[in-house]
A and B are shown apart, each in its own frame.
Chain A
Amino acid sequence: MSTHRTGDPLSKAATAAEIARAVSHDKVKASAVIEAALKRIAAAEPAVNAFTDIVADRARKRAAEVDAGKHHRGPLAGVPFAVKNLFDIEGLPTRAGSKINVDGPKAARDGALIRRLEAAGAILVGGLNMGEYAYDFTGENAHYGPSRNPRDTTRMTGGSSGGSGAAVAAGEVPLALGSDTNGSIRVPSSLCGLFGLKPTYGRLSRAGSFPFVDAFDHLGPIARSTEDLALAFDAMQGADPDDPVCTHLPPEPTLPHLGEGIGGLRIAIAGDYFARGGEPEAFEAVATVAKALDAAKTVVLPQAAAARAAAYIITAIEGAQLHLPRLRTRPQDFDPDTRERFMAGALLPGAWYVKAQRFRRHYRANVLKIFDEADIVLAPATPCTAPKLGQVMMKLGGVELPVRANLGLFTQPISFIGLPVVVAPLQRPGGLPIGVQIIAKPYNERAALRVAAFLQAQGVASAPPA
């Protein structure tokens, strides 16, 4: 892979890897990198509304310490990054996109993944906008305004990690963290034209982040290159007793393998459910990627529609249960677009929840069989490109459907069983970008990243700043 470019580390196009190399080799001061990022944020925010909190003083202090050699210059030395505001940031309330949480306690320490990125030399610059309590695929928020898609600011970023998508696509920061319960990293990566990684369920610690649906909550990075995804992912791996779901498997570095190409990988295309119910551009993107990878074989993930239904039910019931005390006491302070969905979820039958969990085991066993014959499965990330802000209904495959419930149509059956996925973005000349899911078996993030890196090196996938 030819990622060792030497672009200007102070430009909005600079990747995390380029910045870290420049800082490590004393070509540029971390302080200068941070000042440039803060300037870009100030300039872009009126248009994209990605940030809810900017921690400029903290970032400047940290940068000065990096420059003074106080911290080990790790693989992310001097890299500015920002996090979806459901991550704890020391001294700030953890908004999780809500108004209610602002009245809650201020975080006593940073979330685990912020600590790990900073231990690798990265520098946090702020918290990012998101759909309320992560129950969202649009990136819209009644309290803080919608995050706007830098590729076309009249359109949605996708959500719920909408600010994460907007900040990276606008070139405000090269790296952002998001969360993905049903698609909340992959949907904004697709609609904003970015690389995104939803790791295996339990691979990265969720300690110090506001939960949504424990059964499916994942955290992960969004960036403009596969090298940056790998750098961030490698820095964040490792067991954490503070998250009972976090794996005890040893970290498996992905960066050293990124340039290995696709030799030896069996790559298939998801058919059936994943080949219908979307707009033509979603399937054209998969075909383009499949052609570049010389993949022709089709596999079927059995009962994907039931998997999507089960993910929906578990989400509705777990999410509602979590927020029931607030729904009782402060319903007026919820975003109207989440409130009534949470309320409905609180009333669904418990038997459905248990059936969905039982089905999850059944579906997992059947889908894992596919990986006996394929290492990678390709599927659309979203059924369409970015809808207009405020758009309520959309036409998918000729059928009129609600936007909110359906942007995650193709992501839900995958996160339901915790498979790792990299989204590779395709920029479409004269049109909006769209992403393709590169799905691997559990704990094989390495293979998914290799495939995405190959597509990037071939010029098929790319994520320039808007």
Chain B
Amino acid sequence: MADDKPDVARLVDEAAKAIGLPIAPEYRANVILNYERSLMIARPLLEVELDDELTPGPVFRP
């Protein structure tokens, strides 16, 4: 399944471009490292299955 592994460096470069966030070359490696860390930490959440009826908790009161 090695092919399923995202190309985080490319993802970071393209997403940063898309949202207009310049990332200087000296910051880039660490941004990629932190993105990879987030992918790892997020895993237990992403594996959870939620019912469609489960809406978020916050309530906006106009």
* A358 contacts across to B, CB distance below 8 A: 50, 54-56
From A146-154, A175-183, A342-350, the one touching the partner chain is A342-350
* A346 contacts across to B, CB distance below 8 A: 16, 19, 21
* B45 contacts across to A, CB distance below 8 A: 306, 309-310, 313, 352, 355-356, 359
Is the CB–CB distance between A340 and B34 below 8 Å?
yes
Is the CB–CB distance between B27 and A343 below 8 Å?
yes
Is the CB–CB distance between B22 and A328 below 8 Å?
yes
Interface check A215, CB cutoff 8 A? yes
Encoded as 1 (CB less than 8 Å from any A CB) or 0, chain B from 21 to 43 comes to: 11110010011111101100111
Interface check A361, CB cutoff 8 A? yes
Most chain B beta-carbon contacts within 10 A, residue among A327, A341, A343, A352: A343
| Smallest beta-carbon distance B42→chain A, Å | 5
- Asked whether A328 and B21 contact (CB < 8 A) given A343-B31, A344-B12, A345-B38, the answer is yes
- Asked whether A347 and B42 contact (CB < 8 A) given A303-B48, A359-B50, A361-B56, the answer is no
Which of A309, A331, A348, A357 has a CB less than 8 Å from the CB of B43? A309
* B54 contacts across to A, CB distance below 8 A: 358, 361-362
Interface check A324, CB cutoff 8 A? yes
Interface check B1, CB cutoff 8 A? no
* B58 contacts across to A, CB distance below 8 A: 215, 357
Q: Tell me the complex Cα distance, A347–B50, Å.
A: 24
Which of A305, A313, A324 has a CB less than 8 Å from the CB of B21? A324
Is the CB–CB distance between B50 and A362 below 8 Å?
yes
Is the CB–CB distance between A360 and B57 below 8 Å?
yes
* A443 contacts across to B, CB distance below 8 A: none
* B15 contacts across to A, CB distance below 8 A: 347
Is the CB–CB distance between B47 and A348 below 8 Å?
no
Size class of the A contact interface (CB-based, 8 Å)? 35 or more
Is the CB–CB distance between A402 and B56 below 8 Å?
no
| Smallest beta-carbon distance A410→chain B, Å | 15
Q: Which residue of A lies closest to B27 (CB)?
A: A340
Q: Tell me the complex Cα distance, A336–B34, Å.
A: 12
Is the CB–CB distance between A344 and B38 below 8 Å?
yes
Interface size on B (CB < 8 Å)?
A: 33
Total A-B Cβ pairs within 8 A = 102
Q: Tell me the complex Cα distance, A373–B46, Å.
A: 30
Interface check A116, CB cutoff 8 A? no
Is the CB–CB distance between A405 and B56 below 8 Å?
no
* A198 contacts across to B, CB distance below 8 A: none
Q: Tell me the complex Cα distance, A310–B42, Å.
A: 7
Interface check A339, CB cutoff 8 A? yes
Q: Tell me the complex Cα distance, A303–B43, Å.
A: 12
Q: Tell me the complex Cα distance, A361–B35, Å.
A: 26
Which of B16, B48, B56 has a CB less than 8 Å from the CB of A306? B48
* B38 contacts across to A, CB distance below 8 A: 312-313, 316, 344-345, 348
| Smallest beta-carbon distance B57→chain A, Å | 4
Q: Which residue of A lies closest to B19 (CB)?
A: A346
- Asked whether A312 and B42 contact (CB < 8 A) given A340-B30, A360-B56, A361-B56, the answer is yes
Q: Tell me the complex Cα distance, A352–B33, Å.
A: 19
| Smallest beta-carbon distance B11→chain A, Å | 7
Interface check A308, CB cutoff 8 A? yes
Interface check A266, CB cutoff 8 A? no
Q: Which residue of B lies closest to A327 (CB)?
A: B21
Is the CB–CB distance between A352 and B23 below 8 Å?
no
Which of A331, A347, A362, A405 has a CB less than 8 Å from the CB of B41? A405
* B47 contacts across to A, CB distance below 8 A: 306
| Smallest beta-carbon distance B47→chain A, Å | 7
Encoded as 1 (CB less than 8 Å from any B CB) or 0, chain A from 294 to 323 comes to: 000000000101101110110010000000
Q: Which residue of B lies closest to A364 (CB)?
A: B57
| Smallest beta-carbon distance A171→chain B, Å | 37
**Contacts A308-B41, A313-B45, A343-B16 supplied; 6 other A-B pairs, CB < 8 Å:** A215-B58, A309-B46, A343-B34, A355-B45, A359-B45, A360-B56
Q: Which 3 A-B pairs have the closest CB atoms?
A: A344-B34, A357-B56, A340-B30
